[in-house]
Amino acid sequence: MSQPRILDDAKKLAVEIDVGIRALPIHNTPSEWAVRRCRPHQLRRAQPAFVLALARELVHTAALELPEMTILQLPGTGVQLLGSGLFL
């Protein structure tokens, strides 16, 4: 599988997960993690590059949802990691 296809597929799955989370009637950690965990069949045989791309997409989506006060409380290294592209 080519790198652009891996990234596109990871983005599509991340969007599916995000849509599932947004559709939840109750937003709490257990229900949101249940949505994230319901796709093990897609990850069990996935290439490592796909899993890493998906993780980056999910972290990026979660980081965009962080309240400003949460971001302001991150230690300098946490902000640097978010901004460095390591996770995003």
Q: Is the pLDDT of residue 57 over 50?
A: yes
DSSP per residue, 57-72 = HHHHHHHHHS-HHHHH
What's the CA gap between 4 and 66, in Å, rounded? Answer: 28
Is the pLDDT at 39 greater than 80? The verdict is no
Whether the CB-CB separation of 56 and 80 falls below 8 Å is answered with no
Q: Cα 71 to chain center, whole Å?
A: 17
Judged against a pLDDT cut of 50, whether residue 63 lies above it is answered with yes
Model pTM score: 0.66
Provide the pLDDT for residue 71: 62
Residue 78 has a CB neighbour count (10 Å cut-off) of 12
The more confidently predicted of residues 66 and 51 is 51
User: Domain ranges in the chain?
Assistant: 3-84
pLDDT of 17 above 80: yes
Distance of CA 36 to the CA centre of its chain: 9
